């Protein structure tokens, strides 16, 4: 090899080496949050608004309040492409970031959450799996470092069936009906199946399963089968382009949109807008409020988008369903940080200290009003054994322009579901030789 080429190779390797070794030396009074996002790939249409919402809320808090307790929040985005391996690589790269390492990690992917649970527990970094898997991590005695607030897929499946029963005029009217589930054939999509199996046995409806291979662009065969079998209701557990494809296919086979109910990850603007007018009437279960009529959203518009400043997206996209959900995730994470600071002091905290804050999260109506999120967040209380908290779900409907609520907050059958969490979590603990914590011993005092 010529000498110049050799030198270039050596320089490149040296740059690589130095790049890997150089850590961010600017760590003082800052709290670092790694942001595992996906802004490319088939799941980007849904990943981008969520990431924007989260980042904008952090920027707003820094601008308006100077951080949490005077500690500025810093963050670094890492592209995971909804890929488990890249998610793990991003986590490993950012977990030791100055000054106190990663505070909390929100992977926005059931698959990445599964891949990270063991590592994060060993590294003492909490994972907030807001409204996604794994659902049995709600039993905090086995999963001290995983938080699934405000609700999980098992609760979601239960509440959607409750809503359907109400639409039909009572639980007894469900007997003999056919309810189908179109799901992303991955850990995410399969999570509600045991709950729906149990409910179908209890309530007497026939439960039909239609798996869709990721990324879900090819659903013609699925929807032709649905047209043939004519289920009374179709539930959808999709993500990314699978959602918009499913809604377009449903419209193409003429399935009535008001009997098509998606989970909260299948109920946002990128999912319904591509189908145009034929998506009107599509319903989605939401775990938070929708719209832009909240004080916190107004604050974001003022401090991040006001007078010549630029946020991560454009001002008209502020207030979309997934943007709001990103804001909500950030709100709850920073609230937990604030609570952790009441015990550990107003300084950069470690992941272990943040975990304490997360486990003592208590969103009362007063606190939610102080945060500016009345109507956006639901009240909830996290305890040692219950990392889920609220559990309530609300059904909304798309009218062509926005999602509007068409039901009240529906509470799931929490006793039954909590028993299911405990059973599943204890089975996991047995397999992994984990001793569950004794929650009665842990003091709840703040």
Partner 1 sequence: MLYRETGQFKTSYIADQAIFPIRQDRYLAAALLVVAYVAVPILGTEYWLLTIMIPFLVFALAAIGLNILTGYAGQVSLGTGGFMAVGAFATYKITTSFPGLNIVVVFVLAGIITALVGVMFGWPSLRIKGFYLAVATLASQFFLIWMFNKFPWFNNYTASGVISAPPRAVFGHFFVTGAEANPVDKYLFVLTTVVAMAFIAKNLVRGRVGRSWMAIRDMDIAAEIIGIQPLQTKLLAFAISSFYCGISGAMWAFIYTGGVEALAFDIDRSFQILFMIIIGGLGSILGSFLGAAFIVLVPIFLEYTPMSLGLNIPVNYISNMQSMIFGALIVFFLIVEPRGLARLWQTGKEKLRMWPFPY
Binding residues vs partner 1 (CB under 8 A): 1, 15-16, 18-20, 22, 37, 39-40, 44, 48, 77-79, 81, 84-85, 88-89, 92-93, 96, 110-111, 114-115, 117-119, 121-122, 133-136, 185-188, 190-191, 193-194, 211, 214, 424, 428, 431-433
CB 256, CB 281: distance < 8 Å: yes
Nearer CB in complex with partner 1: 121/245: 121
Q: Shortest Cβ distance from residue 290 to partner 1 (Å)?
A: 26
Nearer CB in complex with partner 1: 145/264: 145
The number of C-alpha atoms within 13 Å of 69 and in the hemisphere containing its C-beta is 19
Q: Shortest Cβ distance from residue 79 to partner 1 (Å)?
A: 4
Count of C-beta atoms within a 10 Å radius of residue 98? 15
Q: Shortest Cβ distance from residue 23 to partner 1 (Å)?
A: 10
Nearer CB in complex with partner 1: 46/378: 46
Distance CA 152, CA 110 (A): 11
Question: Nearest Cα to 210, choosing from 181, 243, 247, 237?
Answer: 181
The number of C-alpha atoms within 13 Å of 197 and in the hemisphere containing its C-beta is 7
Distance CA 167, CA 163 (A): 6
Distance CA 373, CA 355 (A): 23
Q: Shortest Cβ distance from residue 168 to partner 1 (Å)?
A: 27
Nearer CB in complex with partner 1: 110/396: 110
Distance CA 444, CA 229 (A): 52
Q: Shortest Cβ distance from residue 345 to partner 1 (Å)?
A: 28
Token representation of residue 389: 């908290």
Tell me which residue has tokens 């919402």: 53
Q: Shortest Cβ distance from residue 223 to partner 1 (Å)?
A: 20
């Amino acid at each position: 090899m010529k000498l110049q080429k050799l030198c270039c190779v050596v320089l490149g390797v040296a740059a690589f080496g130095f790049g890997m070794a150089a850590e961010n030396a600017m760590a003082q009074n800052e709290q670092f949050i790694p942001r595992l996002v996906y802004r490319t790939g088939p799941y980007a249409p849904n990943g981008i608004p969520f990431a924007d919402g989260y980042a904008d809320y952090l920027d707003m808090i820094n601008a308006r309040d100077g951080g949490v307790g005077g500690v500025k929040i810093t963050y670094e985005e890492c592209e995971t492409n909804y890929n488990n391996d890249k998610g793990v690589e991003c986590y490993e790269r950012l977990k030791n970031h100055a000054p106190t390492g990663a505070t909390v990690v929100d992977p926005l992917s059931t698959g990445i959450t599964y891949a990270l649970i063991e590592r994060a527990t060993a590294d003492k970094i909490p994972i907030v799996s807001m409204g996604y898997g794994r659902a049995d991590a709600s039993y905090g005695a086995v999963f001290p470092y995983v938080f699934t607030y405000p609700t999980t897929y098992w609760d979601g499946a239960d509440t959607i069936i409750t809503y359907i029963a109400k639409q039909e005029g009572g639980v007894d009217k469900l007997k003999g009906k056919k309810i189908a589930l179109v799901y992303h054939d991955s850990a995410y999509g399969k999570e509600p199946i045991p709950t729906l199996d149990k409910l179908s046995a209890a309530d007497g409806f026939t439960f039909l399963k239609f798996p869709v291979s990721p990324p879900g662009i090819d659903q013609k065969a699925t929807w032709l089968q649905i047209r043939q079998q004519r289920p009374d209701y179709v539930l959808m557990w999709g993500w990314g382009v699978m959602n918009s494809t499913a809604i377009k296919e449903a419209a193409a086979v003429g399935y009535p949109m008001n009997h098509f109910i998606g989970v909260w990850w299948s109920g946002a603007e990128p999912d319904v807008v591509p189908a145009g007018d034929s998506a009107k009437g599509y319903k989605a279960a939401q775990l938070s409020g929708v719209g832009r009529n909240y004080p916190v959203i107004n604050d974001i518009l003022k401090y991040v988008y006001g007078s010549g400043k630029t946020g991560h997206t454009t001002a008209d996209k502020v207030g979309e369903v997934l943007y709001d959900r990103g804001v909500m995730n950030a709100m709850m994470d920073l609230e937990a940080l604030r609570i952790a600071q009441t015990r550990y002091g107003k300084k950069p905290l470690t992941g272990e200290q943040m975990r304490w804050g997360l486990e003592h999260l208590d969103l009362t109506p007063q606190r939610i009003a102080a945060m500016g999120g009345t109507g956006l967040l639901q009240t909830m209380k996290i305890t040692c054994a219950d990392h889920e908290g609220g559990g309530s779900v609300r059904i909304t409907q798309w009218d062509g322009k926005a999602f509007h609520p068409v039901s009240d907050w529906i509470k799931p059958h929490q006793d039954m579901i909590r028993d299911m969490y405990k059973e599943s979590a204890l089975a996991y603990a047995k397999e992994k030789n984990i001793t569950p914590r004794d929650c009665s011993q842990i003091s709840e005092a703040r």
